[in-house]
C-alpha cells in the first residue's frame, strides 16, 4: 500500500486528463462523452422472453446449490456503475441485480452512478479517502493507473481457474496490466465497419478485405441518386474531428498499415510515426476526402454524433464503430432494421480492432469479495450475457454466450471476427497528448490548413519530442 500513497497525487492529475477522454472501452472502445455513449447504447430487441424464462429457471436451479452469497449472512454490495443511469443498459443492470437479490435475499446491491468519463478521477479521490465502493467500473484507459494504486483484489483467485477458462482469451488478456487482472470483463464492444447490406446487394459489391478494395467499394457507393448532378450519397461516415472519437478511430487505420504509434523497446518508449507504414496510413485516411471525395464535406466537423446522423439519415453507407451503435441506428431510423451488417476493419498489412471491454473490479477493501465474485459470475453467465447482449448490442465475453447463433448473424459477423484482432491496450502515460498530436496532423490536412508533407513533418517532430521527454 505504500506504493499507492506515493502515486496518488500524480494520479489525481492524470486521472482528470483521462476522464476528459470519455467513453469506456473500450476506453479503448468507444469514444466520445458519456452523453454520446448513452446515445450509442440504445438497442431494443424483441423476442427474448424465452431466453428470459430459461435464465430465470437456470438461476433458480443454481440457487438450490449453496454458494458464497448464501453463506455470507446479511451483505450489502456497493457498486459504482458507469451505466446505471443510461438507457437501456441501466434498466437492464438493475434488472439483473434485482434477480440476484431475489435469488439471494440476504444480499442487498446498491448502485452509485459514476459516468465513465469521471470514473478514474473519482476512484482516485475515493482511494485517497479510504472509502472505495465494493466494486467499480473500470474504463480500459484507467487500467495502467489503477495498477499503480494497488486497490484491486486478486480477481483470478476469486473467480477460479475453471471459470476463467470460459472467457475469450483475447478479452481476458485485455483485462490485465503486467499480468494482473484489473477487471472482470462483462461485455465487449469491438470495432468493425457497419454497412448497408441492401446498398451492397444493389450495386453487386463484395465485402472488402483490403484497404484497396475498400476504396473501390467506396467509389461505387459515392453517387448522385437524384440525378441533379450533385453527389448526395457518400460511402463512409468519417469521424474527422480532433478529439478522442476521431483519434482512436484513426489509429486503427495506421495500425492496420503496420504502424504502432507507441510501444516499448529495450526498456524505452518508441514509435512508428516516422515510418513509411504510418505515413501510408495517414495518407490513405486523408486521401479518402481530399483526393477521392468518398466522405461527406467538412469531415473535421464530424464527431461521433454527427457521423451517426449521416448514417441514420442514409447519406452514408458505412461507419466505423462498435456493436453498441446498432441499437441507436435502428432506433433512430427503424427503416434500417434488417439492412445492416458488419465486417472486420480492412487490412493494409493486418486486420486490427479493439476489444472495447467493460467490466468491474472488486476492491481490495471489500469485506465480501466472494459474494462480489459470485455476482459477477451471475451477470456474465450464459443466459444473462446473451440477454444483455441482445438488448444492448454489447457482446458477451465468455465463449459459451458469444457462440450463440444470434452473434454469428450478418449483423454481428464482423464484430465477432474483430475479437480475434484486438490490439493490446496502450500503457503510455502521455498517450492522450500523443493522440492529440496525431489528431492535429490529420485535421490540418483535411481542413487544408497544411499540406500533407507539412502536417506529417510537424507530427514526426512533436511526437518524437513528447516521447523523448518521457524517456
Query: What integer best gives the mean pLDDT of the chain?
Result: 86
Same domain, 402 and 297: no
Same domain, 407 and 366: yes
Listed residue (445, 463, 447) closest to 455, CA to CA: 445
Gap between the Cα atoms of 360 and 93, Å rounded: 13
Asked if residue 79 has pLDDT above 60, the reply is: yes
Domain housing 308: 192-352+428-470
Same domain, 295 and 378: no
What CATH number does the domain containing 241 carry? 3.40.190.10
For residues 41 and 83, the answer to whether their CB atoms sit within 8 Å is yes
Q: Please give the grid coordinates belonging to residue 460.
A: 514526426
Gap between the Cα atoms of 4 and 372, Å rounded: 23
Same domain, 256 and 274: yes
Q: Is residue 417 part of a domain?
A: no
Same domain, 138 and 286: no
Asked if residue 42 has pLDDT above 50, the reply is: no
Mean pLDDT of 392-399: 91
Q: Is residue 47 part of a domain?
A: no
Same domain, 241 and 320: yes
Gap between the Cα atoms of 34 and 27, Å rounded: 11
- Tens of pLDDT, residues 49-66: 334 434 444 444 444 455
Model's pTM, two decimal places?
A: 0.76
pLDDT at 32: 32
- Tens of pLDDT, residues 202-245: 999 999 999 999 999 999 999 999 999 999 999 999 999 999 88
Residue the block writes with cell 427503416: 335
Q: Domains in the chain: how many in total?
A: 2
Same domain, 403 and 319: no
Q: Establish how many alpha carbons lie within 13 A of residue 252's alpha carbon, considering only the half-sphere containing its beta carbon.
A: 31
pLDDT at 115: 85
pLDDT at 70: 64
Amino acid at each position: 500500500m505504500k506504493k499507492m500513497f506515493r502515486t496518488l497525487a500524480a494520479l489525481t492529475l492524470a486521472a482528470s486528463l483521462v476522464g476528459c477522454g470519455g467513453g469506456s472501452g473500450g476506453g479503448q472502445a468507444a469514444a466520445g462523452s458519456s452523453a454520446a455513449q448513452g446515445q450509442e447504447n440504445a438497442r431494443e430487441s424483441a423476442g427474448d422472453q424465452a431466453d428470459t424464462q430459461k435464465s430465470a429457471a437456470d438461476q433458480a436451479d443454481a440457487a438450490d446449490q449453496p454458494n458464497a452469497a448464501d453463506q455470507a449472512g446479511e451483505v450489502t454490495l456497493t457498486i459504482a456503475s458507469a451505466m446505471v443511469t443510461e438507457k437501456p443498459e441501466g434498466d437492464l443492470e438493475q434488472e439483473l441485480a434485482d434477480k440476484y437479490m431475489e435469488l439471494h435475499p440476504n444480499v442487498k446491491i446498491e448502485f452509485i452512478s459514476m459516468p465513465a468519463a469521471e470514473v478514474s478521477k473519482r476512484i482516485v479521490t475515493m482511494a485517497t479517502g479510504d472509502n472505495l465502493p465494493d466494486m467499480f467500473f473500470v474504463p480500459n484507459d484507467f487500467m495502467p493507473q489503477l495498477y499503480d494504486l494497488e486497490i484491486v483484489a486478486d480477481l483470478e483467485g476469486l473467480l477460479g481457474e475453471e471459470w476463467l477458462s470460459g472467457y475469450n482469451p483475447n478479452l481476458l488478456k485485455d483485462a490485465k496490466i503486467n499480468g494482473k487482472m484489473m477487471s472482470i470483463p462483462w461485455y465487449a464492444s469491438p470495432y468493425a465497419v457497419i454497412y448497408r447490406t441492401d446498398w451492397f446487394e444493389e450495386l453487386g459489391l463484395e465485402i472488402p478485405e483490403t484497404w484497396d478494395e475498400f476504396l473501390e467499394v467506396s467509389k461505387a457507393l459515392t453517387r448522385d441518386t437524384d440525378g441533379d448532378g450533385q453527389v448526395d450519397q457518400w460511402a463512409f461516415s468519417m469521424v474527422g474531428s480532433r478529439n478522442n472519437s476521431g483519434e482512436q478511430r484513426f489509429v486503427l487505420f495506421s495500425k492496420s498499415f503496420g504502424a504502432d504509434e507507441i510501444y516499448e523497446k529495450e526498456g524505452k518508449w518508441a514509435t512508428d510515426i516516422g515510418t513509411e507504414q504510418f505515413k501510408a496510413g495517414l495518407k490513405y485516411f486523408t486521401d479518402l476526402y481530399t483526393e477521392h471525395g468518398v466522405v461527406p464535406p467538412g469531415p473535421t466537423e464530424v464527431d461521433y454524433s454527427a457521423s451517426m446522423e449521416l448514417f441514420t439519415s442514409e447519406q452514408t453507407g458505412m461507419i466505423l464503430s462498435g456493436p453498441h451503435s446498432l441499437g441507436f441506428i435502428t432506433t433512430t431510423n427503424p427503416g434500417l432494421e434488417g439492412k445492416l451488417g458488419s465486417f472486420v476493419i480492412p487490412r493494409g498489412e493486418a486486420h486490427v480492432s479493439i476489444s472495447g471491454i467493460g467490466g468491474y473490479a472488486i476492491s481490495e477493501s471489500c469485506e465480501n469479495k466472494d459474494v462480489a465474485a459470485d455476482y459477477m459470475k451471475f451477470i456474465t453467465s450464459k443466459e444473462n450475457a446473451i440477454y444483455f447482449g441482445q438488448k444492448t448490442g454489447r457482446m458477451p465475453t465468455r465463449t459459451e454466450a458469444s457462440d450463440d447463433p444470434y452473434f454469428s448473424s450478418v449483423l454481428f459477423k464482423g464484430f465477432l471476427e474483430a475479437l480475434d484482432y484486438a490490439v493490446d491496450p496502450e500503457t503510455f502515460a502521455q498517450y492522450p497528448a500523443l493522440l492529440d498530436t496525431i489528431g492535429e496532423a490529420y485535421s490540418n490536412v483535411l481542413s487544408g490548413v497544411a499540406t500533407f508533407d507539412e502536417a506529417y513533418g510537424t507530427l514526426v517532430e512533436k511526437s518524437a519530442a513528447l516521447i523523448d521527454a518521457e524517456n
